[in-house]
Amino acid sequence: MSRLGVDIGNVSLKSPLILASGTCNFGHELSEYYDLSILGGLSSKGLTIRPRVGNEGVRVAETACGMLNSVGLQNPGVDYFIEHDLDYMRSLGTGVIVNVAGHSFDDYMAMIDKLDPHKDKIDALEINLSCPNVKAGCMSIGSDPEQIREIVSAMRKRTELPLWIKLTPNVTDIKATALAAQSAGADAVVLINTMLGMVIDIRTRRPVLHNNTGGYSGPGIKPVAVRMVAECSAVLDIPVIGCGGIMDYKDVIEFMIAGASAVEIGTASLVHPACPVDITRDLEDYCNVNNILIKELTGTLNIW
Amino acid sequence: MNKEFTCTIVSRRMISEDTAYLTISCPEIASSAIPGQFVNVSCSRFLKRPFGIAHTDTSNGTFDIGIKIVGDGTKELSDVSEGDTLNVLGPLGNGFDLSCADRFILVSGGTGVFPVNFAYEKLTESGKDVTLVQGFRDASQALMMREGAIITTDAGDLGIKGTCIAGLDTVDVSEGTVVCCVGPVPMMKAVGEWATGKGLRCFISMEQRMACGVGICLVCVCKIKAEEEGKPFEHVRCCKDGPVFDYKEIIL
């Protein structure tokens, strides 16, 4: 029996590894590199009620330990997704997580109403209250505990699908936003989305990104993410899914010790598309050598 | 399944002051790559760097890339030694459809000389009628010049003085010829307009700041005309839907 199985509330996943939204599209491209059924799940590209073309101009800026993106939620819209991609995701033999984004309360409700009829094909909805690259909604909602409570409790009334709330690190107190999600009926929180950053071209004295700012991801943000997972898991009763700069199996273990029940791999897939194959093998080896189930690691942090 | 290859550098030489040329061992890429495709190569910086494939040698299982030094990553990759290994993803992208016609005009500018060289070799191998126009800024920038090619330089110190349009204007055009062009955007626009004016189809290869190279991150988008009426444009991925696009579909 595999030692990698984990539970996120009522959702059982065969592995703690989930592909993060926005770094795997809907699975088509990465399935050319490895069998995605080794994963615990795949979180779709962030979807909105209408198609979005995303931001114009340069959308990526490299940093020493990662990158900034300002894609701006380019996606084909939820109707197209349901018609063309959902069945494909279901066929991959892995957990199907649908990432839901919006610009307003009404947008998020409309999204839930579109997706709920397809609940037999969906394992969880990941509610993106944290995209830093769109002008309205998302991060501005997700940095205010009161708005989180309002939006999540309204979603809770509309669907029985598990609601995983993906939160932004661009707040003073991540515990406050995580607790707001929990009190509103969330089934899990996902920590963290990208950090707001800027890279400047010193030759032109202009930001590299034509959106001026973008979301910073990659190994540079991992310590921030681990800290937030540790802080939140200490005060939450619902599971935490860790995300931010995971590149190898040691990073996964670090997040789980901090309190994560599962993790998301994002930017690493952009550099090494098949990295989950190696991480899975290394996690199995680690569990075998230490004779543990991976879920036993969750929250084993001994703070000073 | 596609995979990331660990490849050995077979040879490395500088072909101009700021451009290196590498021959890399990878039988899988050598046997499957088509002209217009690229590889994404790891360096010590965070992201990989994309390079158009310049040549393949299936009997030796190697492919070649040209590296123009534009920053730290390309500097490092230009400095590799024979016997070093690099992590390489590829071949990536759609490439040129060289079966769509029997007569081609190939036009290169800047680092476009590398993918165009690969197309030129494949077309001449298959016995097709091909005219090659190679545009350079000046003689010091002239690389990979092929015998029989029409050479143009902006400075006029080699070949025809002027842009590659001056070279194209010397070509006798026949109906059904397809133009393939790789170079800076203003040049591709000029070539696209020239071809359109002659009633010829034209394909161009786009370059954008890229991250994954495999179509999952959506950072390297180009604009194409939208099919839907009233919509100004659509974004498509340079790395996966391109880099080769029909000139009449792309918005430059």
Taking a C-beta distance cutoff of 8 angstroms, is the pair B62, B24 a contact? yes
Tell me: do B165 and B226 sit in the same domain.
yes
CATH number at residue B54: 2.40.30.10
* pLDDT surpasses 80 at A139: no
Q: Which of these three, B92, B119, B149, is where a domain ends?
A: B92
Q: What is the ipTM of this complex?
A: 0.93
Residue A237 in domain: yes
The number of angstroms, rounded, from the C-alpha of B132 to the middle of its chain's C-alpha atoms is 14
Contact map slice: A 47-106 vs B, CB within 8 A: 53-54, 56, 58-60, 62-67, 69, 71, 74
* Separation of alpha carbons A171 and A148, rounded Å: 13
Tell me: do B121 and B82 sit in the same domain.
no
Residue A302 in domain: no
Tell me: do B129 and B62 sit in the same domain.
no
Sign of the CA dihedral with A278 first, then B213, A48, and A216 last = positive
Tell me: do B154 and B227 sit in the same domain.
yes
Tell me: do B212 and B124 sit in the same domain.
yes
- Looking at per-residue pLDDT, the higher value among A270 and B230 belongs to A270
* Separation of alpha carbons A29 and A12, rounded Å: 25
Residue B97 in domain: no
Residue B88 in domain: yes
pLDDT at position B223, please?
95
* pLDDT surpasses 70 at A135: no
Least Cα separation, residue B104 to chain A (angstroms) = 32
pLDDT at position A137, please?
67
Length in residues, chain A: 304
CA distances to A18, A130, A147, A212 from A269, in Å? 11, 20, 32, 25
pLDDT at position A27, please?
98
Residue A142 in domain: yes
Residues of A with CB below 8 A from B216's CB? 23-25, 29-30, 269-270, 273
Residue A45 in domain: yes
B42 forms bridges with which residues in the sheet?
Answer: none
User: Mean pLDDT score of chain A, rounded to an integer?
Assistant: 96
Residue A303 in domain: no
- Count of pairs with CB atoms under 8 A, one residue in A, one in B: 86
Residue B28 in domain: yes
Residue A183 in domain: yes
Neighbour-count burial of B101, counting CB atoms closer than 10 A to its CB (0-12 exposed, 13-18 middle, 19+ buried): middle
Mean pLDDT confidence for A118-139:
85
Closest partner residue to A23 (CB to CB) among B46, B216, B220 is: B216
Using the beta-carbon criterion (under 8 Å), do B47 and A67 form an inter-chain contact? yes
pLDDT at position A2, please?
87
Tell me: do B50 and B124 sit in the same domain.
no
Q: Is the CB of A274 inside 8 Å of chain B's CB atoms?
A: yes
* pLDDT surpasses 60 at A1: no
Domain boundaries, position A276: 6-297
Mean pLDDT confidence for A159-185:
97
* Separation of alpha carbons A115 and A159, rounded Å: 9
How crowded is residue A86: how many other Cβ atoms within 10 Å of its Cβ?
19
pTM for the model: 0.95
pLDDT at position B1, please?
85
Q: Which of these three, B40, B59, B92, is where a domain ends?
A: B92
Using the beta-carbon criterion (under 8 Å), do A67 and B89 form an inter-chain contact? no
The number of angstroms, rounded, from the C-alpha of A233 to the middle of its chain's C-alpha atoms is 16
Residue A78 in domain: yes
Q: What is the pLDDT of residues A66-78, one digit of tens each?
A: 999 999 999 999 9
A262 forms bridges with which residues in the sheet?
Answer: A241
Q: Measure the CA dihedral B220/A247/B51/B216, to 10°.
A: -30
Residue B98 in domain: no
Taking 50 as the pLDDT cut, the residues of chain B under it are: none
**Active-site annotation holds for A131:** yes
Tell me: do B33 and B63 sit in the same domain.
yes
* Separation of alpha carbons A275 and A265, rounded Å: 9
Q: Is the CB of A110 inside 8 Å of chain B's CB atoms?
A: no
CATH number at residue B118: 3.40.50.80
Residue B9 in domain: yes
Tell me: do B193 and B84 sit in the same domain.
no
Taking a C-beta distance cutoff of 8 angstroms, is the pair A127, A152 a contact? yes
What tokens appear for B85 in the block? 């290994």
Residue B167 in domain: yes
pLDDT at position A136, please?
64
Tell me: do B198 and B116 sit in the same domain.
yes
* Separation of alpha carbons A291 and A285, rounded Å: 9
What tokens appear for A135 in the block? 């002008």
Residue found by looking up tokens 């939006």 in the block: A151
Tell me: do B216 and B239 sit in the same domain.
yes
pLDDT at position B183, please?
97
Q: What percentage of chain A exceeds 90 in pLDDT? A: 94
Tell me: do B205 and B142 sit in the same domain.
yes
Domain boundaries, position B146: 103-251
Taking a C-beta distance cutoff of 8 angstroms, is the pair B224, B250 a contact? yes
Least Cα separation, residue A198 to chain B (angstroms) = 16
Strands B178-182, A60-63: parallel, antiparallel or unpaired by DSSP? unpaired
Domain total of chain A: 1
Tell me: do B52 and B86 sit in the same domain.
yes
Residue A126 in domain: yes
For residues A136-170, b (16+ Cβ closer than 10 Å) or e, as one string? ebbbbbbbbbebbbebbeebbeebebbbbbbbbbb
pLDDT at position A80, please?
97
Contact map slice: A 201-240 vs B, CB within 8 A: 218
What one-letter code names the amino acid at A255?
F
Least Cα separation, residue B27 to chain A (angstroms) = 18
Q: Which of these three, B52, B71, B92, is where a domain ends?
A: B92
CATH number at residue A266: 3.20.20.70
* Separation of alpha carbons A212 and B154, rounded Å: 35
Domain total of chain B: 2
Taking a C-beta distance cutoff of 8 angstroms, is the pair B232, B226 a contact? yes
Catalytic residue among A24, A65, A131, A287: A131
- Looking at per-residue pLDDT, the higher value among B229 and A241 belongs to A241
Q: What is the 3-state secondary structure (H, E, C) of chain B?
A: CCCEEEEEEEEEEEEECCEEEEEEECHHHHHHCCCCCEEEECCCCCCCEEEEEEEEECCCCEEEEEEECCCHHHHHHHCCCCCCEEEEEEEECCCCCCCCCCEEEEEEEHHHHHHHHHHHHHHHHCCCEEEEEEEECCHHHCCCCCCCCEEEECCCCCCEECCHHHHHCCCCCCCCCEEEEECCHHHHHHHHHHHHHCCCEEEEECCCCCCCCCCCCCCCEEEECCCCCCCCCEEEECCCCCCEEECCCEEC
Taking a C-beta distance cutoff of 8 angstroms, is the pair A209, A29 a contact? no
